[in-house]
């Protein structure tokens, strides 16, 4: 944006005033004293103004004749280098299905993009018909993910010298409703697990119920990370599903790398699975698909993430149990552990959360045992005071 200015006077002296713009696109005037008295110095003051404009324009980013949608198309083509594959796949879908269609209609220059333009876009996503697939508004949580994508792309534009500031840093996003996951109590979990006896996904569903594993964690479990001697299970990698099929990835966070003790039931199921795989390999010979994965079909094929979710949903929907998701087994494990009296920190480590505050944000409302203990303590204190 071109810098303009003017010369004015104050207390008998000339001042040069520049019209500058902040990250919100609002004009901010900056005054520069020339120390020149009024008499005979107007041209000198104008010369100082021209020099100031030239100096400040040299600080501006060179003009970039590119619209935001054009920039985003180029950025998404090469952004996969430092983004996890599963995240990059979601970025591609959001760019293609939501961001590009909107900004191609508005044709905003990259250098002219302002927070208000992004806020208008987020508001549009909350209206009926913005979602081309369902014609329903997008959730605030989804829009926040979209905002993170846009912010990352614009941070790269700043780094490359295409723009001076990241307008996404000042844009407001819709307030997301706090998500409260569904969970099953121990008796409901027993009823649920009975539904999966002899199912191809019996083992992963049981392990998710016991350990609160993420879908990618349980399917990425390999025998090299199952130690029957020490009775431990280590989460060291995950199995994700992308456009081209399954692929191996690192755990979600550093804290997701964790080693947990085997329960008796987990040990029995894992040993049974190990023996079953050996028998099937001997029977099928060359037709058996060899791998080190724990959760496989009878022919050795690795169970894919989408198959696990679909099968879980189908079996649950045909039962009388609440229509929970596979991920709700993770919520169930956390909620039940808290209600058994285990601390937030202990549950954090069991789940592999990055910090206790993450666990607290999700599950503090179900820490029933701790609240009961607090109530009992308060009751005793008050009774002693009355006496």
Integer CA distances (angstroms), 76 to 70, 72, 96, in order: 10, 6, 10
Specify the range with the lowest mean pLDDT, choosing from 81-95, 142-156, 271-285, 287-301. Answer: 81-95
3-state secondary structure of 22: coil
Q: Three-state secondary structure along 257-286?
A: CEEEECCHHHHHHHHHHHHHHHHHHHHHHH
Beta-carbon contacts of 203 under 8 Å, excluding residues fewer than 6 positions away, are 269, 270, 273, 294, 295
pTM of the shown model: 0.67
Element at 33 (helix H, strand E): strand 27-37
Q: What is the pLDDT of residue 366?
A: 60
Closest C-alpha to 315, from 205, 241, 219: 205
Q: CB of 38 within 8 A of CB of 13?
A: yes
Measured from the Cβ of residue 311, the count of other Cβ atoms closer than 10 Å reads: 18
Helix ranges, the chain (H): 42-59, 68-78, 85-94, 100-106, 115-125, 140-159, 186-195, 202-211, 215-219, 264-284, 305-317, 328-339, 344-351, 356-363, 368-386
Measured from the Cβ of residue 248, the count of other Cβ atoms closer than 10 Å reads: 12
Q: Which two tokens stand for residue 49?
A: 């103004």
Q: What are phi and psi of 139, to 5 degrees?
A: -75, 160
Confidence label for 253 from pLDDT (cuts 50, 70 and 90):
confident
Instruction: Calculate the CA dihedral of residues 212, 217, 223, 227 and round it to 10 degrees.
Output: -40
Confidence label for 134 from pLDDT (cuts 50, 70 and 90):
low
Q: What are phi and psi of 21, to 5 degrees?
A: -130, 135
**Average pLDDT of the segment spanning 185-189:** 92
Q: What is the pLDDT of residue 132?
A: 61
Separation of alpha carbons 158 and 289, rounded Å: 49
**pLDDT above 90: percentage of residues in the chain:** 58
Q: CB of 19 within 8 A of CB of 29?
A: yes
Specify the range with the lowest mean pLDDT, choosing from 49-58, 103-112, 139-148, 319-328. Answer: 49-58
**Average pLDDT of the segment spanning 17-26:** 69
pLDDT tens digits, 73-91 = 999 998 887 787 778 888 9
Asked if residue 61 has pLDDT above 60, the reply is no
Measured from the Cβ of residue 11, the count of other Cβ atoms closer than 10 Å reads: 6
**Average pLDDT of the segment spanning 147-162:** 91
pLDDT tens digits, 294-349 = 999 999 999 999 999 999 999 999 999 888 999 999 999 988 888 888 888 899 99
3-state secondary structure of 127: coil
Bridge partners, residue 245, by sequence: 242
238-242 and 4-10 as β-strands: parallel, antiparallel, unpaired? Answer: unpaired
| Sign of the torsion formed by the C-alpha atoms of 376, 379, 385 and 387 | negative
Instruction: Give residue for tokens 């490359």.
Output: 160
């Amino acid at each position: 944006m071109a810098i303009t200015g003017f010369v004015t006077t104050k207390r008998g002296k000339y001042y040069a005033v520049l019209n500058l713009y902040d990250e919100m696109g609002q004009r901010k005037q900056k005054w520069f004293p020339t120390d020149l008295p009024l008499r005979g110095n107007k041209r000198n003051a104008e010369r100082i103004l021209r020099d100031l404009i030239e100096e400040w324009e040299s600080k501006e980013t060179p003009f970039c004749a590119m619209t935001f949608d054009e920039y985003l198309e180029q950025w998404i083509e090469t952004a996969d280098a430092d983004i996890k594959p599963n995240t990059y796949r979601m970025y591609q879908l959001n760019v293609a299905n939501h961001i590009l269609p909107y900004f191609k209609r508005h044709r905003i220059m990259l250098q002219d993009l302002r927070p208000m333009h992004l806020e208008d876009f987020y508001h549009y996503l909350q209206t009926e018909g913005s979602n081309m697939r369902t014609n329903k508004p997008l959730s605030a949580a989804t829009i926040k993910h979209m905002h993170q994508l846009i912010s990352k792309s614009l941070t790269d534009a700043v780094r490359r010298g295409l723009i001076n500031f990241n307008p996404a840093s000042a844009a407001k996003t819709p307030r997301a409703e706090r998500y409260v996951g569904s969970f099953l109590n121990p008796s409901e979990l027993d009823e649920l697990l009975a539904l999966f006896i002899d199912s191809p996904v019996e083992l992963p569903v049981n392990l998710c119920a016991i350990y609160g594993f993420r879908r990618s964690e349980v399917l990425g479990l390999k025998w090299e990370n199952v130690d029957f001697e020490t009775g431990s299970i280590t989460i060291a990698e995950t199995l994700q599903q992308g456009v081209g099929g399954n692929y191996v990835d690192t755990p979600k966070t550093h804290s997701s790398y964790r080693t947990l003790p085997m329960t008796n039931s987990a040990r029995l199921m894992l040993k049974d699975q190990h023996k079953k795989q050996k028998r099937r390999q001997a029977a099928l010979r060359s037709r058996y698909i060899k791998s080190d994965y724990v959760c496989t079909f009878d022919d050795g094929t690795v169970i894919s993430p989408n198959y696990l979710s679909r099968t879980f949903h189908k079996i649950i929907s045909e039962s009388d149990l609440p229509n929970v998701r596979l991920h709700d087994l993770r919520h169930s494990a956390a909620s039940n552990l808290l209600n058994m009296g285990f601390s937030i920190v202990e549950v954090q480590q069991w789940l592999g959360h990055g910090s206790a505050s993450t666990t607290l944000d999700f599950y503090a409302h179900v820490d029933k045992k701790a609240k009961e203990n607090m109530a009992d303590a308060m009751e005793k204190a008050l009774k002693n005071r009355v006496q």
